[in-house]
A and B are shown apart, each in its own frame.
Chain A
Amino acid sequence: MSKSEANVVVFACNWDGLSSVEAVAQAGLSYPASVKVVRVSCLSRLHQGLILKAFELGADGVMLLGCEPGKCQFDTDPALITQECEKARKLMRLLGLKEERLVLTHVPRGDGSHFVGRVTSFIAEIGQMRSAVPGGA
């Protein structure tokens, strides 16, 4: 893997999130190999610990990929993941990490190109943060 490609961990919900990742290959598209996708049953399964663990293990960025608002298969209140995301961002800020390295994204079901566009622009944003701060974002 080239040094310029940021390591991104994508936590994808089992439903619209993962379906858009799977649709990438079906649509004949691809995304960089530095993107690692971790399937979770729902984004509400995630908490600040798992998000921070990804950064601890060397992720340059973390993307939380879930269903569009109102389309959750479990009718889960999106406030849960928004709250965990906010807590993780506050901790990242304390640790001197740019909070933009954590994004919460909602994609339409099965939209591979949407996911590819989002993840490549996220990698580019992290690349810019890295070049702005010597030694990494």
Chain B
Amino acid sequence: MFDTEREISDTRINLCLDCGKCTVVCPVAQHDPDFNPRLIAQRRLGQNRNIPQDDTIWSCISCYMCTERCNYRVRFPEFIHALRFEALEEGAQLQCTHGGALQAVMHMMARGDLHQDRLGWLPQDVELAEQCDTIFFVGCAPYFDVLFSDLGVDTLDGVKGALRLLNRAHIPFNILANERCCGRDLLLQGDREGFLALARANMEEFARHGVGKIITNCPECHYTLKVDYPKILGSTGIEVVHLTEVIAPLLRSGELRLGMLEKRATYHDPCTLGRCSRIFDEPRQILAAVAGLELVEMEQNREKALCCGASPWVHCGAVNRQIQGQRLAQAGATKADVMVTACPKCQIHLKCAQKSGDGKTTQVEIQDLASVAARSLD
């Protein structure tokens, strides 16, 4: 199923001119002189294949900043994912963050005899349409809120906000009680087997419920279900849309109106929603539709937005922390009351930096886009 050489060639890496623009814009390379995307490509594509395993491949944060800058649009992060797969096949060991808890949860979720009890948080006032072929894909938010409870993250607040917005917009949807993690983090860290197990379990669940359309709030679930599932499993026949793509047109046409929220806010583009899925305008349109909300941009925004310093739950260290500090400082410089993001993982990583920083980290409030929009309705 996985032909690594073909996959590597599909990333267009063979077109690399060795110009080094990727390395100039790479946020990791800025802080870590050992990480050099240009040299990683050079080493792997060179004639001498008997070189030792490249340990720097684990530092890439898959932010796609390099792809944005590359004249040939080489998909370098995907090249890295293929190299990680190769490295794991050759016996490399992952340095899992958070004690490997996320990997353990993801692997256990792939089991066939799984009967999750994951909807205890569902507010009673949210209306579900049980026979509907459109589902809202919740993602791992129920798990995140337990795993990162000491950071004070509330990613389910974003999910609840998304459900309230859909209800207000009279868009019917159902929720699956036994959906799995989409598997993106396993795919990014090179664990293809783990990803496939989750993807197949999800596809079986979708088929059993006759799912025709999926709405997600998490940009990673959105991209994985929309792009990676068809690419790896073949056509799924399911339409996948992000919440912002559903809500923003309704706001434009006047079919949905948001309320009032007097805040100065800045929007942090999640890499997967922005550079990967090219959704830059819709989240801003939603924020602009909130009366009283003043939207200010950070120094790096849209295509050039700085990553939250995320990793697929592996190899997180001082460099990631420096990137997070830099991003939070950019938010602080806007004098915004709230930093709005559309990704639960951005929220987790930035709050982690705020909590464990040296006391100088910008302590701006961080909230999910759907939470902010739904709060304006109250």
Contact check, B113 vs A95: say whether CB atoms are below 8 A apart: no
Query: Nearest chain-A residue to B102 (Cβ)?
Result: A49
A96 within 8 A of B: yes
Q: Is A25 an interface residue (CB 8 A)?
A: no
Q: Across the two chains, which residue of chain B brings its CB closest to A133? A: B115
> B149 in the interface, Cβ–Cβ < 8 Å?
yes
Residue of B nearest to A93 (CB): B117
Contact of B118 among A52, A56, A94 (CB under 8 A): A94
Compute how far the CA of A125 lies from the CA of B146 in the bound complex, rounded to whole angstroms.
26
The A contact surface, by secondary structure, is helix
The answer, yes or no, to whether B318 is at the interface (CB within 8 Å) is: no
B101 within 8 A of partner (CB): yes
B105 and A91 form a contact (CB under 8 A): yes
- The yes or no answer to A27 lying at the interface (CB within 8 A) is no
Q: Is B105 in contact with A53, judged by CB distance below 8 angstroms?
A: no
Q: In whole angstroms, what is the CA distance A94 to B113 when docked? A: 14
B207 at the interface (CB under 8 A from A): no
CB distance from B308 to the nearest CB of A (A): 22
CB < 8 Å neighbour of B99 from A48, A55, A95, A96: A48
Cα–Cα distance between A56 and B142 once the two chains are bound (Å): 19
The answer to whether B98 and A49 have CB atoms under 8 Å apart is yes
Q: Which of A49, A83, A94 contacts B96 (CB 8 A)?
A: A49
**Contact call B99/A94, Cβ cutoff below 8 A:** no
Nearest to A136 among chain B residues (CB) is: B113
Please judge, given known A-B contacts A94-B116, A94-B118, whether A56 and B107 are in contact too, CB under 8 Å: yes
Across the interface, name the chain A residue whose C-beta is closest to B178: A96
Provide the residues of chain B in CB contact with A95, threshold 8 Å: 105, 108-109, 114, 116-117
Q: How far is the CB of B103 from chain A (nearest CB, A)?
A: 8
Check B280 for interface membership: any CB of A closer than 8 A. no
In the complex the two chains form, what is the Cα distance from A49 to B95 in whole Å? 13
Q: List 25 A-B contacts (CB under 8 A).
A: A47-B99, A47-B101, A48-B98, A48-B147, A49-B96, A49-B104, A50-B100, A52-B100, A52-B105, A52-B108, A53-B104, A55-B104, A56-B104, A83-B150, A87-B149, A90-B146, A91-B101, A91-B147, A94-B117, A94-B118, A94-B146, A95-B116, A95-B117, A96-B117, A135-B113
Residues of chain B touching chain A, judged by Cβ–Cβ distance below 8 Å, are 96, 98-101, 104-105, 107-109, 113-118, 142-143, 146-147, 149-150
Nearest 9 CB-CB pairings of A with B = A49-B99, A49-B101, A52-B104, A96-B115, A56-B104, A49-B100, A90-B146, A47-B99, A48-B101
